[in-house]
């Protein structure tokens, strides 16, 4: 393009510069993007430009009177994309994906969360759009985009292409195989930019949609061989220990392990759980492995021992897949299965997914008496929920497998003064401050729950498993978390904060001296084989990535959905290896032996879900002679 072309495009270029600078400011002020060199900073600065020039440049092919209007509409839509990512990132510390946008069933229930996350300053993201509108109406000559020749359009798009490949080339130099790291959205945003990332996300969505149609039984061979090679024998003492007993699982909403045995102003945050741990098996290095599906991801991992997807929630994107889930397996052994959750049945697509998983009954909000007096935040208070849930469980045939999902300790952590039994914190994060009283309330609710089970005669013949479903305090609150814990939160500490409680309480077995504090590294993916073995069910031919927590052959290893992993000695995250004892950075070679296992398991799990590969699985007979499992 020659110099005379620029006056023709002044409105287009002005809109581009506005969006470009605004996007970079958002990168620096609203997202916590780690920059390690001047080259990464330069890439971050230029990465919005090629997309903006491309999309605004489409106006050059339109009739002259429509060009300025098109520019304004694109500016508004681009600003809306930024706005959505800013609000989403504020809590989830992540960027929106297409599958998340398709979760429309959840939107009606997100009102209080959005109100908490939205800030009026976010409206400044649309300031440039208002300026463009003002110019369009009050300075029409300035807002006019004159016709350009075919040659000028060609030069324009050659410049755009050159800029795009220049950006991509620098990014590939900084981060080789960049576009294969689909699970690490921060790296993609940092290198190719927000807008190009969303285009890439559309491509990934189209690719994943096609995987099922193209899959066949041959895709499952290597995966099945991997499972067979990695099978671990159960512990002889714990195998069949729960046979004929009820299994009661309690999902502790947003509960992280840092609150266990912690105090505020001399008051314990979780006094009852602290006591319960003294009569239970407690795993102090147990990690949640959820991604964008949050609670639904934890449910998926629990019942299937598969990893969640890096984009969206399996409950939404693949709710009609074939699975070999625990509720379906235990039917062969006369177990009745249910979920109890005082929320709308369609939230997280649960009504569809539970049927795919083989649950017999879903006690949703229609099964509960819910009113203003017994509700707060997202719905029914935990004490009322547990009270009514025990009554519902009594109606079930025994033995049963029941999963209870709590609500009160849910962002934005609202609680009436009458229910607060501990002081809020005094940090710069309102979210963290309010989190402590809701955790304390949940703890008190669990206490009442166990007493209710005893009163109704369900306690003695049941095994109780309490587990945290996902984090409650995201990395966006690390500064405040550092104030509370008395140290600076590093990437190493952020991984350690993904630990959640796992308490396995077996009345008459784990009481007193028989309790155990277990330091082995484990994750939610290990729960399915653990539970099945406790029920005396052979899993030698089952499909699961986890390992029985009680098995003496278990490897101390857990991989998170973002590719981070933890062993007894090391933590690997954000391309850095840390010594687990000191938290200090060490040579990457120490973590290298685990790279293949971490990446292979995530890849195989994705293949199973995207390809719906379990429809090709011939299945196994679970009711073989029990001793076969421990030979």
**Residue 218 belongs to some domain of the structure:** no
Q: Specify whether 441 is located in the same domain as 580.
A: yes
**Residue 589 belongs to some domain of the structure:** yes
Query: What pLDDT, on the 0 to 100 scale, is given for residue 208?
Result: 67
**Residue 240 belongs to some domain of the structure:** yes
Q: Specify whether 143 is located in the same domain as 69.
A: yes
**Residue 466 belongs to some domain of the structure:** yes
DSSP 412: T
**Residue 543 to residues 106, 462, 495, Cα–Cα distance (Å):** 30, 26, 27
Q: Specify whether 300 is located in the same domain as 349.
A: yes
Q: Specify whether 104 is located in the same domain as 233.
A: no
| Token pair 């007979």 in the structure block, residue | 621
Q: Specify whether 161 is located in the same domain as 231.
A: no
Q: What is the domain count for the chain?
A: 2
**Residue 319 belongs to some domain of the structure:** yes
DSSP 343: S
**Residue 217 belongs to some domain of the structure:** no
Write down which residue in 188, 211, 234 finishes a domain.
Answer: 211
Structure token pair of residue 427: 């940090």
Q: Specify whether 335 is located in the same domain as 191.
A: no
Question: Domain containing 545: what range?
Answer: 223-623
| Token pair 């007894």 in the structure block, residue | 568
Residues with catalytic roles: 295
Write down which residue in 211, 233, 253 finishes a domain.
Answer: 211
Query: What pLDDT, on the 0 to 100 scale, is given for residue 111?
Result: 53
Q: Specify whether 280 is located in the same domain as 144.
A: no
**pLDDT tens, residue by residue, 90-144:** 766 777 776 666 555 554 455 556 666 778 888 899 999 999 999 888 887 776 7
**Residue 631 belongs to some domain of the structure:** no
Write down which residue in 152, 185, 211 finishes a domain.
Answer: 211
Q: Specify whether 431 is located in the same domain as 548.
A: yes
CATH code of the domain in which 568 resides: 3.40.720.10
pTM value? Answer: 0.80
Q: Specify whether 165 is located in the same domain as 249.
A: no
Low-confidence stretches of the chain (pLDDT < 50) are 3-4, 107-108, 624-631
In three-state secondary structure terms, 92 is helix
Q: Specify whether 276 is located in the same domain as 200.
A: no
| Token pair 């031919």 in the structure block, residue | 541
Whether residue 329 contacts residue 532, with contact meaning beta carbons closer than 8 Å, is answered with yes
**pLDDT tens, residue by residue, 487-512:** 999 999 999 999 999 999 999 898 87
Give the C-alpha separation, 167 to 50, whole Å: 8
Q: Specify whether 195 is located in the same domain as 235.
A: no
Q: Specify whether 127 is located in the same domain as 104.
A: yes
Nearest alpha carbon to residue 318 among 203, 215, 466: 215
**Residue 42 belongs to some domain of the structure:** yes
């Amino acid at each position: 393009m020659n110099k005379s072309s620029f006056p023709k495009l002044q409105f287009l270029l002005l809109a581009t510069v506005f969006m470009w600078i605004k996007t970079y400011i958002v990168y620096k002020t609203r997202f916590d993007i780690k920059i390690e060199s001047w080259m990464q900073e330069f890439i971050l600065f230029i990465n919005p430009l090629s997309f903006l020039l491309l999309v605004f440049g489409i106006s050059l092919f339109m009739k002259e009177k429509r060009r300025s209007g098109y520019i304004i509409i694109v500016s508004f839509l681009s600003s809306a994309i930024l706005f959505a990512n800013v609000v989403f990132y504020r809590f989830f510390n992540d960027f929106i994906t297409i599958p998340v946008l398709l979760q429309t069933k959840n939107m009606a229930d997100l009102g209080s969360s959005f109100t908490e996350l939205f800030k009026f300053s976010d409206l400044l993201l649309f300031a440039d759009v208002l300026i463009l509108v003002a110019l369009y109406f009050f300075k029409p000559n300035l807002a006019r985009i004159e016709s350009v020749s075919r040659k000028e359009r060609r030069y324009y798009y050659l410049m755009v292409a050159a800029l795009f490949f220049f950006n991509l080339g620098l990014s590939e130099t900084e981060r080789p195989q960049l576009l294969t790291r689909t699970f690490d959205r921060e790296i993609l945003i940092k290198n190719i930019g927000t807008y190009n990332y969303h285009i890439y996300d559309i491509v990934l969505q189209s690719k994943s949609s096609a995987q099922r149609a193209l899959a066949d039984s041959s895709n499952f061979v290597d995966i099945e061989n991997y499972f067979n090679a990695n099978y671990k024998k159960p512990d002889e003492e714990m195998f069949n220990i729960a046979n004929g007993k009820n299994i009661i699982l309690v999902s502790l909403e947003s509960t992280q392990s840092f609150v266990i045995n912690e105090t505020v102003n001399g008051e314990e945050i979780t006094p009852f759980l602290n006591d319960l741990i003294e009569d239970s098996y407690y795993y102090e290095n147990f990690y949640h492995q959820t991604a964008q599906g949050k609670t639904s991801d934890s449910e998926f991992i629990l019942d299937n021992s598969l990893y969640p997807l890096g984009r969206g929630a399996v409950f939404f994107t693949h709710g009609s897949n074939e699975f070999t889930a625990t509720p379906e397996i235990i039917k062969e052994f006369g177990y009745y299965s249910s979920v109890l959750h005082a929320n709308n049945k369609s939230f997280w697509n649960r009504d569809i997914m539970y049927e795919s998983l083989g649950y017999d009954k879903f006690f949703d909000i229609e099964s509960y008496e819910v009113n203003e007096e017994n509700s707060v935040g997202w719905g029914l208070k935990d004490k009322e929920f547990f009270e009514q849930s025990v009554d519902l469980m009594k109606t079930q045939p025994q033995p049963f497998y029941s999963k209870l999902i709590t609500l009160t300790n849910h962002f934005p952590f609202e609680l009436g003064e009458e229910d607060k039994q501990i002081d809020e914190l005094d940090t710069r994060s309102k979210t963290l401050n309010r989190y402590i009283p809701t955790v304390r309330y949940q703890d008190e609710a669990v206490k009442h729950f166990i007493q209710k089970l005893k009163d109704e005669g369900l306690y003695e013949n049941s095994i109780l498993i309490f587990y945290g479903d996902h984090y409650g305090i995201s990395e966006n609150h690390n500064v405040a978390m550092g104030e509370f814990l008395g140290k600076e939160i590093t990437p190493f500490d952020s991984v350690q904060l993904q630990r959640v409680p796992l308490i396995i309480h077996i009345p008459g077995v784990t009481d007193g001296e028989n309790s155990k504090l277990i330091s082995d590294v484990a994750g939610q993916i290990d729960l399915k084989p653990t539970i099945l073995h406790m029920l005396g069910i052979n899993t030698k031919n089952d499909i699961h990535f986890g390992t029985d927590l009680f098995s003496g052959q278990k490897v101390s290893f857990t991989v998170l959905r973002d590719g981070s992993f933890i062993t007894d000695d090391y933590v690997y995250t954000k391309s850095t290896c840390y010594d687990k004892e000191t938290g200090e950075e060490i040579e990457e070679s120490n973590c290298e032996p685990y790279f293949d296992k971490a990446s292979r398991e995530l890849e195989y799990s994705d293949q199973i879900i995207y390809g719906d590969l379990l429809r090709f699985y011939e299945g196994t007979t679970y009711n073989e002679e029990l001793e076969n499992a421990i030979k």
